[in-house]
Amino acid sequence: MLPKLLKNDYHEATKLSFLSVQIDPNYVDAATQPAPFKRYPKFFRRFALDLENPTHSFLHFTSAITTQKMYREGAYSLRVNPSAGALYPTEIYVQIRGINGLLDGIYHLEVETKSLTLIYELIDDGLEGYLVDSRLIKGYIFLVSCVYFRSSWKYKNRSLRYCFLDSGHHLGAIEASAYVQDYTAQILFDFDHLALNDDLGFENKEFVTAAIVVGNVKEKPVRRLRSPIPFVCGTDYFEPNRFVEAGYKQTLLPTNHQQEISQPNFQFEKAKFLQSIQKRRSARRFHQSQITQEEFFAVWESLNQPIATQSDDAIAIYAVIQSVAGIEPGIYRGKESLKTGNFREKMGYLCVNQAIARDSAVLFFFVSEFQNYRVALQLAGLLGQRVYLSATYLGLGCSGIGAFFDDETQAFLEAKGSILYAIAIG
Ligand SMILES: Cc1cc2nc3c(=O)[nH]c(=O)nc-3n(C[C@H](O)[C@H](O)[C@H](O)COP(=O)(O)O)c2cc1C
């Protein structure tokens, strides 16, 4: 039995330091990696996605495989969403109601085969029944979930962070695909997670982290699923991690959400933006090259667009400017200069001796005095997805950085809040 931990304890207990990395360098035998794709049994009906159809294309680009990379251990399918260690703990389910050509039901998005698996047909019931507002939604309700063992297999307790950051990236990928189709989306973090996990048949092996609604609200209330969906394991084998399970449960307490919902107003050219979704990759090195001020501010602009959610966990953005034409190198909080200087070596060191942090043009840090760890990390991941896509759109490289010496980084930035995530562009 784990002692009951408070919200900040999960952050505290998963910090990296110079010493912790020496003691546990995180080596795993690649041959034991759990399966990265969930498959429902063959008897569930599948519908192939036809990319000529805008609805199918919308669903496909929330999660698509966009390239294959060969490693010694075999081929890796890389996707529109990045993932810490390319372990892809996230899955997508989508309830579809009142959309031409698709049966009303709950589908699992089977990324590997580019298809939708119908796992539940709707009658008078649906996912609305688990939301705070249970009125019928005509359109789509996406659920992002985590098959956490895919990540805890390697990252142990710190995988709690990566599950939430990866979920946030996936939310960002859905936001992006919706933008291409001119759809507006609303992100929900508060709903009856436990009942939903039970009814979706997740046992303790998978959990829902967020929902996104793309559709119109009707007056009629909807009841919860009339029968549970059978359990299907998202991996080929499973080892529990009670810390991750307890860390998730701790975030299910209700949080404040007074904020009015504002929609982001991106100014991308849609066809080029869709290409950026398809082309997005993590840069594997930078060359200390300079970027222009226009490029920096274009990324900044997309980062600072509102996030369409009522949740009000605030993320402060710190930018370590290393090489932007006309901007003095140094640390900035928002647009306020905190200290000037060349911190390349320090940044490389703080990000666990990663050259991409040292050699980038800008290193962003997302910082928060969060109320809810799950929500704050997902917001950071979503912002990370925006940085990736706007950088790709501009022809720049980008990489998420989830590994940093927590306390030393926080002290160096003189930040009050916790460091949730870093992301480099160049
Ligand atoms: C939460 C998160 C943390 C990451 N941390 C690092 C990191 O510390 N160092 C690194 O080189 N890449 C990092 N990455 C990038 C992943 O390695 C990359 O997304 C994955 O290999 C898939 O490749 P792709 O992004 O090109 O599709 C991170 C990505 C995410 C989403």
Using the 3D structure, point to which of 229, 250, 271 is the last residue of a domain.
Answer: 250
Write out the residue range of the structural domain in which residue 83 sits: 28-250
CA of 417 to the centre of ligand 1 (A): 23
Q: Distance (Å, rounded) from C-alpha 89 to C-alpha 34?
A: 10
> For residues 391 and 388, what is the distance between their CA atoms, to the nearest angstrom?
5
Domain count, the chain: 2
Same domain? 290 vs 246: no
| DSSP reduced 3-state for 296 | helix
> Which residues are within 8 A (CB) of 248 and not within 5 positions of it... i.e. 6 or more apart?
148, 160, 163, 207, 374
Q: Is residue 274 part of a domain?
A: no
Q: Which of 244, 282, 313 is nearest to 79 (CA)?
A: 282
Residues 6+ apart with CB under 8 A from 27: none
Confidence of residue 7 (pLDDT cuts 50, 70, 90): low
Contact of 149 with 239, CB cutoff 8 Å: yes
Do the domain assignments include residue 179? Answer: yes
pLDDT for the residue 1: 55
What tokens does 58 get? 């919308």
Which of 143, 142, 146 shows the shortest CA–CA distance to 161?
146
328-to-40, 206, 297, 302, 339 alpha-carbon distances in Å: 54, 46, 14, 22, 10
Atom of ligand 1 nearest to the CA of 356: 11
What local confidence, expressed as pLDDT, does residue 246 receive?
Answer: 96
Counting ligand 1 atoms within 8 A of each CB, the residue from 26, 70, 83 with the most, and so the one to mutate, is 83
Work out the pLDDT band at 41, boundaries 50, 70, 90. Answer: very high
Same domain, 68 and 189: yes
Q: In the predicted model, is pLDDT for residue 211 greater than 60?
A: yes
Asked whether residue 327 is domain-assigned, the answer is yes
Average pLDDT over residues 185-213: 97
Q: Whose CA is nearest to atom 1 of ligand 1?
A: 84
192, amino acid identity? D
371 in the same domain as 232:
no
Residues 87 and 201 in one domain: yes
* Domain membership flag for residue 58: yes
Question: Does the beta carbon of 354 lie inside 6 Å of ligand 1?
Answer: yes
The set of residues, in sequence order, having a beta carbon less than 8 Å from that of 223 and lying 6+ positions away, is: 124, 125, 126, 129, 134
Residue 101: pLDDT band (50, 70, 90) is very high
Residue 38's pLDDT band (boundaries 50, 70, 90)?
very high
Verify that 307 and 387 share a domain, yes or no.
yes
User: Of 194, 227, 250, which closes a domain?
Assistant: 250
Q: How confident is the model at residue 174 (pLDDT cuts 50, 70, 90)?
A: very high
| Protein residue whose Cα sits closest to atom 31 of ligand 1 | 83
CB 55 within 8 A of CB 102: yes
- pLDDT band for position 2 (cuts 50, 70, 90): low
Give the distance (Å) from ligand 1 centre to CA of residue 99. 35
ipTM over 0.95: yes
C-alpha of residue 400 to centroid of ligand 1, in Å? 5
Q: Which of 227, 250, 273 is the last residue of a domain?
A: 250
pLDDT at 83: 98
Sole residue written with tokens 């699923």: 225
What are 43-68's pLDDT values in tens digits?
A: 999 999 999 999 999 999 999 999 99
pLDDT-based confidence at residue 364 (cuts at 50, 70, 90): very high
Is there an atom of ligand 1 within 6 Å of 151 CB? no
Ligand 1 centroid to 284 CA: how many Å?
A: 9
393-401: average pLDDT:
98
Q: What is the CATH number of the domain that holds 378?
A: 3.40.109.10
Domain for residue 33, yes or no? yes
Closest-CA residue, ligand 1 atom 29, reads 84
Average of per-residue pLDDT across 303-330: 95
Measured distance CA(115)–CA(44) in Å, rounded: 12
The residue whose CB lies within 8 Å of the most ligand 1 atoms, and thus the one to mutate among 155, 282, 385, is 282
Q: Is 260 a member of any domain?
A: no
129-173 per-position pLDDT tens digit: 999 999 999 999 999 999 999 999 999 999 999 999 999 999 999
Q: What is the pLDDT of residue 344?
A: 98
Helix (H) or strand (E) holding 172: helix 159-180
Do residues 322 and 419 both lie within one domain? Answer: yes
What region does 418 belong to: left with phi over 0, alpha with psi -120 to 50, or beta? Answer: beta
Task: Encode burial over 212-222: b for 16+ CB neighbours within 10 A, e otherwise.
Answer: bbbbeeeeeeb
Would the pLDDT of 312 be above 90? no
84 with 232, same domain: the answer is yes
Residue type at 25 in one-letter notation: P
CA-nearest residue for atom 20, ligand 1, is: 86
Residues 151 and 237 in one domain: yes
Q: What is the mean pLDDT of residues 385-413?
A: 98
Q: Residue 286's pLDDT is what? A: 98
Average pLDDT value over all residues in the chain: 96
- Residue owning tokens 């590994």: 403
pLDDT confidence of residue 260: 86
Q: Does ligand 1 lie within 6 Å of residue 281's CB atom?
A: yes
Nearest residue by C-alpha to atom 16 in ligand 1:
84
Closest by CA position to 109, among listed 88, 84, 134 = 88
Ligand 1 atom with minimal separation from the 161 CA: 1
Is the CB of 82 inside a 6 Å radius of any atom of ligand 1?
A: yes
Domain check: are 286 and 242 in the same one?
A: no
Q: Which residues contact 29 (CB under 8 A, 6 or more apart)?
A: none
- Whether 264 is covered by a domain: the verdict is no
DSSP 35: P
CA proximity to 342, closest of 361, 360, 322, 357 = 322
> What tens digit of pLDDT does each residue of 271-307 get?
999 999 999 999 999 999 999 999 999 999 999 999 9
Query: Is the same domain home to 304 and 347?
Result: yes
Mean pLDDT value across residues 15-22: 95
Same domain, 242 and 295: no
Residues 403 and 313 in one domain: yes
Asked if residue 94 belongs to a domain, the reply is: yes
Kindly tell me the sign of the dihedral angle through the C-alpha atoms of 134, 121, 231, 66: negative
Q: Which pLDDT value is given to residue 352?
A: 97
Question: pLDDT tens digit string along 113-141?
Answer: 999 999 999 999 999 999 999 999 999 99
User: What value does the mean pLDDT take over residues 191-202?
Assistant: 98
83 lines ligand 1 (CB under 6 A): yes
